[in-house]
Amino acid sequence: MRAVLRNTKAKVGLAVFGLFLLVAIFGPLVVDRVLHTNPRAIDYDHLGSPPGAPGHPLGTTIQGADVLVQVIIGAQGSVFVGITSGLLATALAVVIGVPSGFLGGRLDRVLTVFTNLFLTLPSFALMLIVAGYIQGADWWVIAILIAAFEWPGGARYLRAQTLSLRNRDFAVAMLMIGESKSRLVFAEVLPHLTGIISAMFLRAVVAGVFAEAGLAFLGIGTTTSVSWGTMISEAQQQSAILNGVWWWFVPPGLCIAVLGTATALVNFGIDEVSNPRLGAANRKLIKQFERAAARLRARPGTEAVR
């Protein structure tokens, strides 16, 4: 963990991710106690006002709702759905993938068939169908629905990694001296998979945020709360693009993009720490680029390149 925190990419990604998490946790309190408003409050004097309007730094929607307030409140819905679905999907992947790869035999065959069955399903299409039946459900129901179709890829990858660890010399030796399989899994296998599981969780969080936004954009999912996805959906329904109200859908879209970039940076940092050759290769590539740029600048007639 300390090695990850020393990585520049991971530090930047964690800082941005932590900022969004703080906004998701304390944002509603700030809106209620400090700003004394709510995301559905209407300012009839500023309908569709651009950014910089009095009292509305990011402008207002066509209905007169404050965009900044909706972005703050929407962080709670989107981030909590992403984190909850990511935790559930990662837990399912670990519970199914690790025993399947380590124990083998009939259990492995059954779990592999079960995982492959889910992998062949059109997940997003099925999410649309199921979400249509639970229209208006709370955000945690949407998170469970997303997690139910998000775990198979991670479980398959963890099975392959666990199978590789089981055939390592240290695992074979510990089994030969009578070490219990359960202790070997918890004491040796899972610690070796920590980096992979962490990266898997972050990818699942982003996938959950994207899935929630996609469902909300199509008008399916929770209608009881504001999220970045519902903001984009309402902007599309009110023809915000045609009316030139770009400040309605750009801020939530940017938040989703920045959150995805932050988690990708953390993943890059974890990869570089768990695979030192990757970090060395990146540094070598940068040095080669710098040397090539220096040679180019040193050539006669290349002053303009500087």
* 230-257 residue pLDDT tens: 888 888 888 888 888 898 899 999 999 9
Q: Residue 270: what pLDDT?
A: 81
Q: Which amino acid is at 280?
A: A
Residue 305 has pLDDT above 50, yes or no: no
Residue found by looking up tokens 């309190």 in the block: 29
**What are the distances in angstroms from CA 70 to CA 32, 232, 295?**
12, 11, 51
Return the C-alpha torsion angle 100, 101, 104, 110, nearest 10.
Answer: 30
Residue 125 has pLDDT above 90, yes or no: no
Residue 175 has pLDDT above 50, yes or no: yes
Backbone angles phi, psi at 241, to 5 degrees: -65, -45
pLDDT band (50, 70, 90) for residue 267: confident
**What are the distances in angstroms from CA 244 to CA 11, 167, 236?**
37, 61, 12
Residue 282 has pLDDT above 60, yes or no: no
Instruction: Give the pTM.
Output: 0.80
305 C-beta neighbours (distance < 10 Å), count: 9
Q: Residue range 28-52: average pLDDT?
A: 83
How much of the chain, in percent, has pLDDT values that exceed 90?
21
* 128-151 residue pLDDT tens: 788 777 766 677 888 898 899 889
Q: Residue 50: what pLDDT?
A: 87
Please state, rounded to an integer, the average pLDDT across all residues of the chain.
83
Is 217 within 8 Å of 232 (Cβ atoms)?
yes
> How far is the C-alpha of 8 from the C-alpha of 203, rounded, in Å?
19
pLDDT band (50, 70, 90) for residue 284: low
Q: Which CATH class is domain 2-274?
A: mainly alpha
Name the least confident of 95-104, 185-194, 283-292.
283-292
Q: Domain ranges in the chain?
A: 2-274
Q: Residue 306: what pLDDT?
A: 45
Would you list the DSSP string of 23-76? HHHHHHHIIIIIS---TT---TT-SSPPTTBTTBTT-B-TT--BHHHHHHHHHH
Q: Residue 91: what pLDDT?
A: 94
